[in-house]
Amino acid sequence: MDTTHPSSRHQGLEDLRYLAAKCVRCSLCKFPPLVKVESQATSSICPSIDTYGFHSHSGGGRVLMALSVLEGRSEITEATRDAIYQCTLCGGCDVSCKYVSDIEITEIMMALRARSFDATGPTDVQRRILDNLDRNGHPYESGTREDCLADIPGVRVGPGPTILLLGSAYAMSPERRTTLRNMVRLLGAAGIDVSVLGADEPDVGTLALALGDLKRFDRSASAAIGMLNDSGATEVVCADSEDWATIRAHWPKVAELGPPARHVVEVLDDAVRAGRLTLAHPVRVRAAWHDPCSLGRRSEPYQAWDGEVRKIQGQLLVYDPPRPVNRGSSGCYDPPRRLLRAVPGLELIELPRNRECSYCCGAGGGVAEAYPELATAAAMERQREAGTTGAELLVTTCPGCEQNLGGVEVAGVPTASIYDVLAASVWNQHDSFTNGS
């Protein structure tokens, strides 16, 4: 194992060298799996290369960067650092490559970030984020995690059987308050007795992980897992899908979370199917669903593998025992679709790039904070795609997606959170988006 982080199960670049060496430079990672491509207009899956245009800004390009560093042909410098981080870590390239190979592109890119962080430290913007985490316990310059509590009246603050982790973006962003209130009201209407932790809610480590600060991530994850395990909770519900992906795919590298974790849309889907939440009022709108990468392909559970890699016939790699491979298809795709289909009057439209082949909104991987030009370009591309379908509304759930997609206007398709749409149906309220009637 890589010696940089011997106490956890993160894979370092050396650990992943055998996979990086399997890259055949085919560039299929720049596209959705070819059998899924519907048109030239939706034939890309990589916001990074779409925005910057260089091979280095693709999954395969970064695999080659990793190999070059491993073989001593190049070094990570401040000049090359941007090319490593100008990527949303959306995992689209990873899904596409795995149609033909088993290269773990996302793991390689995360290991490259860790190597970069250790070699050159963070960029100025990243440094400010990390300083805020140290000073405030969240990535923002100011504010507290309790700021949102007045907007979710009646919610219990403190330990309870079901802890709702709000995440920083929902708790700290005033523009997400209506959505947050609707989410908590929906859980209450479904008879789910949630409590929030307010000032005591831990940072789960999502941004530290994305920036390659693995020591900080290990500290954050370890503290959060210990706190939740000691809380007496029997279930953890995640509001922020970025955090949910972190908990599912990366916390197991650090320690085991005792109570099971689910995303809010899974909980609400169960409630509607069991008849505990009634979507009574029509919401007459043609709505397209945007699959957040973090709710979908990036949320597949971590699968530990400690086997042996052997070479046979001089070149073929075999794994003993077989190595489990996540291919993106086991993410959370059906619960939000079932919820929207259950809303009377709502017509659900599929975007051409959907489920594990979804096109990223552009906000993830620390990009929204550090490379706004990439975040904006990706959101515009996704909005254009929605505009081609005749959708009147683009619905999603991740606070980053809601914020980033809602921040651009190119195709006349407003963005709404699924909780606002569901609230419109439960309470006949249309205060958070205008298309419903």
Q: Which residues bind ligand SF4 (CB under 6 A)?
A: 23-29, 45-48, 58-60, 63, 87-93, 97, 101, 103, 105, 360
Q: Which is nearer to ligand SF4, 25 or 276 (CB)?
A: 25
Q: Which is nearer to ligand SF4, 31 or 140 (CB)?
A: 31
List strand residue ranges (DSSP E) for 264-370, in order: 285-289, 308-312, 316-320, 346-350
Q: Which is nearer to ligand SF4, 92 or 414 (CB)?
A: 92
How wide is the angle at C-alpha 396 spanned by C-alphas 166 and 299, nearest 5°?
Answer: 65
Least Å distance between CB 27 and ligand SF4?
A: 5
CB closest to ligand SF4, residue no: 60
Q: Which is nearer to ligand SF4, 54 or 305 (CB)?
A: 54
Closest by alpha carbon to 202, among 230, 234, 161?
230
3-state helix, strand, coil in the chain (%, to 5): 50, 10, 40
Q: Which is nearer to ligand SF4, 87 or 183 (CB)?
A: 87
Q: Which is nearer to ligand SF4, 58 or 132 (CB)?
A: 58
**Separation in Å, CA 289 to CA 93, 154, 319:** 21, 31, 38
Q: What is the DSSP letter of 328?
A: S
Q: Which is nearer to ligand SF4, 37 or 189 (CB)?
A: 37
Least Å distance between CB 278 and ligand SF4?
A: 39
Least Å distance between CB 120 and ligand SF4?
A: 19
CB 245 within 8 A of CB 164: no
Least Å distance between CB 436 and ligand SF4?
A: 33
**What is the spatial distance between Cα 265 and Cα 240, in angstroms, rounded to a whole number?**
11
Least Å distance between CB 190 and ligand SF4?
A: 34
> Residue 193 class from Cβ within 10 Å (0-12 exposed, 13-18 middle, 19+ buried)?
exposed
Least Å distance between CB 4 and ligand SF4?
A: 22
Chain center to CA of 157: 26
CB 292 within 8 A of CB 396: yes
Q: Which is nearer to ligand SF4, 96 or 178 (CB)?
A: 96
**Separation in Å, CA 291 to CA 106, 183, 366:** 18, 18, 19
Q: Which is nearer to ligand SF4, 42 or 88 (CB)?
A: 88
Least Å distance between CB 80 and ligand SF4?
A: 15
For the record, the structure tokens of 38 come out as 């519907």
Least Å distance between CB 63 and ligand SF4?
A: 5
Q: How many CB atoms lie within 10 A of CB 285?
A: 24
**What is the spatial distance between Cα 215 and Cα 213, in angstroms, rounded to a whole number?**
6
Element at 416 (helix H, strand E): strand 415-417
Q: How many CB atoms lie within 10 A of CB 292?
A: 32
Least Å distance between CB 365 and ligand SF4?
A: 7
